[in-house]
Chains A and B, each alone.
Chain A
Amino acid sequence: MIIIKNLTISYNKYQRVIDNLNLSLDENLIHGIVGLNGAGKTTLLNTLYGLKKPVAGTIQFDNKEINKNSVAYLVTENFFYSSITGKEYLSLFKNNEFDIDRWNKLFNLPLNKIIDGYSTGMKKKLALLGVLKQDKPLMILDEPFNGLDIETCRIIRMILLRLKERNKTIIVTSHIIETLTNLCDFIHYLEAGKIKFSRDKSGFLEFEREVFDKIENENIELINELI
């Protein structure tokens, strides 16, 4: 189980991006985190992985403080080191059992070409292969479907569902709710630095309606004025 207790994250002393957040995530399931732009999704994930220090609070995984040894993290931006090939990038991750060429049959990446020439989608696929190669019990995926075509989105969904069966815990964010309702066991709605509500599969429809209604109600007047 992942237990987040009283987590507060801030970039300066005046503004808290995550404010006293409490959340429990069951293991071997896929958890989606949804929120509008600026809600704090990436900051939360960076902190879960250890790229951002919290001001207060604790994060535990398997009754121990969360540790990079047990986490693979797909960052939202496609940053790679310039002038190395896809194969050279993947060779940096330790896992001799991972057959790069067989896995690449799913993604068809030109692994012997340098990454600088890859498209956005190709870079995302390569980063995903890197995460899969790490084979960690907890996978944190920040916007894994960004920039990908329908086929690859479906393939990734199949992979993630299979990984869940193999006892992996997956945390995934997306700004497209449908990609999460098709995939996740739980969805947690992050707003203004707090988890406003969590829903299991039976509540996804209601969740979608709630989120869309909220957005529409907040903006309808202004849109009416403008158009």
Chain B
Amino acid sequence: METFLQSLVNGTLTGSLYAMIGVGLTVIFGVMRIINLAHGEMVMLGMFSAYWSYTLWKIDPFLSAIFWIPLFFIAGMLTYRHLLKAIIPGGELNTLLYTAGLSLLVANVALFVWTGDYRTLNLPYAMTPLRPFGIAVPVPLAIAFVLASLITAGLYLFLGRTDIGRAVRATSQNPEAAALMGINVERVSMITFGLGTALAASAGVLLVPSLYLYPTVGEILLVKCFVIVVLGGLGSIPGAIAGGLLLGMVESLGAVYVSVAYKDAIGFVMFLLVLLFRPQGLFGARP
């Protein structure tokens, strides 16, 4: 029983970070109808940024989020403005291939600059896990979970309460109608991409004390992220959150009760099953 609870806890903690990455991707899809294949690399860059600000300047990664997140938001907006904007009119296929190229470029430049060595970030205050009710909870993961929840809650408030947030939601439901209402769709797209990038990078920043870091980690994260988004329903934020938590738990339970080797495969299999039996995901609309 204890193992089971332990798995569940691990799964929820990891799942919350997965969820945040998934939300970033789904928000971009919802507004701009594009799948950003470079999303995994945004997470990776977030991880490396926090790693370097800790290693070089001794800034605690969780604190560094304060300046990394806005920086990545701006970086995302710039990426949209200068790279993506010109490509989108060319169609879904072209945009997909373009982001694939971007993903390849970023991942391999990172590989070239930082080498493929696996790195870890060990926080001195995080060595011993907390043990509430006898369940081991790693400190960095717990902090990440709390911060991720706060960020997600912040996102909810942003989308629900602010004018810009409402503009984002309107555009994701119907870009033409939004434009007719006077919403600057181009600006909203730019802000959304910035948002999605910032979410991805912040997940990276929060995750770096808990995961192995290497330049091509984006690949596996992207595929998981995609599993989440499909599970939860394309464009649905609650869906992405639910999907992330679900994937986290399934992986965690799978590693314990099925096999560690096939842990990653479990997520993929689940994904394929969803495709077969409920392609619209848990919260999605059309198949």
A binds B: no
